[in-house]
Structure 1
Amino acid sequence: MNIYFVRHGSTEGNETDQFQLPTIELSERGLKQAEVLANRFKSIPIDIIFSSPMMRASQTAQAISLVTGHAVNENPIFEEVNRPTAVRGRCKSEPEVKEIMKIVKSTFTDPDNRHSDEEDYFQIRDRAQKMLEFLSKKEERNILVVTHGEILKMVLALVIFGDKITPELFYEVKRTFVPDNTGITTIQYDLSFELHESGWYVLGWNDHAHFGEF
């Protein structure tokens, strides 16, 4: 099974370094990225498309749908990591936002002392695990998933470390693996793969060869 994880196209929130609202749309640059990405999938076999229902992901998936002819199946399991309501739609550089996110980081592994309504480490880990379990049960062999940067990092961390994943290891993945908008990460699931008993392995990370087209 081949699973192509795609981060959505660029938004004004990306371009101004915001914590984004679920309703934010692709920017002019993001729409162009989605168009170029969609053309890339003319030559990559796809059997089914899944997407986060957040607008920026949905728009990216719809662009691919127009080219491939496959309907988009939206599922909230593929949504971005949930940040506190108090920071959504605001720039990360704002002093108040910085203070809130310091609290979020300090309580990331302490579910009983979260700042407010954000997802903690364990919720993010468990949701990413459910994503992999959901996909592993599909009959289709070539699956496209349009999702988001932070949740994709946890998926990657689970594929690499499996049950050995820890908050410290996840932080290292967060720090060192930064997916581009419309970058393609290819993960394969094959239980006959002897080097990783889970059957999951990374075949390609953040492929953005299509960037040369605009």
Structure 2
Amino acid sequence: MADIYLMRHGAYEGHRPGYHAPLDATLTAKGRDQVRHSLPLPDGITGIVTSPVLRARQTAVEIARHTGLPITTTGLLAEWRAPSIVLGHTPDTYPPAYRVWRERRLAEPSLRCGDGESLTDLHTRASRCADFLHDTAEEYGCLLAVSHTVFLGVLTHLQRGPAAFTLAAGDPWPFAERRLVPHLPGPPGG
């Protein structure tokens, strides 16, 4: 099995702790510098797989510009889909419905807040993503997957089930940090 490297996108416009960034938030000059400083990539990487969210795509394009590696985009690597009522908000301005959902999310992981993704939905997508990355690496060789802090955390803690969300949220992934995960864990019982 070929290695899989996971990487968080670079810093983006408007970032602040607890902030639910809009999908069109772009990389900053600092974010582009962070990406360039993550180079060179380890030997053997044959391609980049990225989230379709703008800041991740821009990170992948910046890496490809310096390495010549091909890019594939997949929605499986997209960040957790926060409900639209919290996009652009920080914890001190979260609406009451979102606060209630946050209190109940672990006890009822299939519960959604508005148009957001439930913890069960997120875990299912992360499991599908792990399979996709394994299959792609098996066919094409070592990969770099560019995504987002919460999704990467869920992906690396799949065995914890939907509760992986809280582990991911409590284990920040620094901007443009790359981690080797030679074998992504499977889901519980998998």
- Which one-letter code corresponds to 2:34 in the other structure? Q
C-alpha deviation, 1:115, in angstroms? 2.3
- Relative to the length of structure 2, the TM-score reads 0.85
The residue aligned with 1:121 is: 119
Are the aligned partners of 1:50 and 1:75 in contact in 2 as well (CA < 8 Å)? Answer: yes
Q: Are the structure 2 counterparts of residues 183 and 98 from structure 1 closer, same or farther at C-alpha, using a change threshold of 3 Å?
A: farther
Larger radius of gyration: 1
Paired positions, count: 182
Matched, 1:186 2:180: yes
C-alpha deviation, 1:108, in angstroms? 2.1
Please tell me the root mean square deviation across aligned C-alpha atoms, in Å.
2.3
- Relative to the length of structure 1, the TM-score reads 0.76
Q: In 2, Cα distance between the equivalents of 1:112 and 1:36?
A: 40
Are the aligned partners of 1:8 and 1:60 in contact in 2 as well (CA < 8 Å)? Answer: yes
The residue aligned with 2:26 is: 25
Which has more strand, going by share of residues?
A: 1
Q: In 2, Cα distance between the equivalents of 1:147 and 1:125?
A: 15
Q: Are the structure 2 counterparts of residues 104 and 185 from structure 1 closer, same or farther at C-alpha, using a change threshold of 3 Å?
A: farther
Q: Which runs of no fewer than 5 residues in structure 2 stay unpaired?
A: none
Larger relative contact order, structure 1 or 2 (CA cutoff 8 Å, min sep 6): 2
Are the aligned partners of 1:19 and 1:92 in contact in 2 as well (CA < 8 Å)? Answer: no
Q: In 2, Cα distance between the equivalents of 1:107 and 1:19?
A: 19
Q: Are the structure 2 counterparts of residues 113 and 127 from structure 1 closer, same or farther at C-alpha, using a change threshold of 3 Å?
A: closer
The residue aligned with 1:48 is: 47
C-alpha deviation, 1:113, in angstroms? 4.7
The residue aligned with 1:156 is: 156
The residue aligned with 2:5 is: 4
Deviations 1:19-38 (A, max 9, x none): 1111110112112112222x
Are the aligned partners of 1:92 and 1:98 in contact in 2 as well (CA < 8 Å)? Answer: no
Aligned residues with identical type, % of pairs: 23
Are the aligned partners of 1:48 and 1:144 in contact in 2 as well (CA < 8 Å)? Answer: yes
- Which one-letter code corresponds to 1:153 in the other structure? G
Are the aligned partners of 2:122 and 2:162 in contact in 1 as well (CA < 8 Å)? Answer: no
Q: Are the structure 2 counterparts of residues 13 and 92 from structure 1 closer, same or farther at C-alpha, using a change threshold of 3 Å?
A: farther
- Which one-letter code corresponds to 1:120 in the other structure? S
Are the aligned partners of 1:13 and 1:19 in contact in 2 as well (CA < 8 Å)? Answer: no
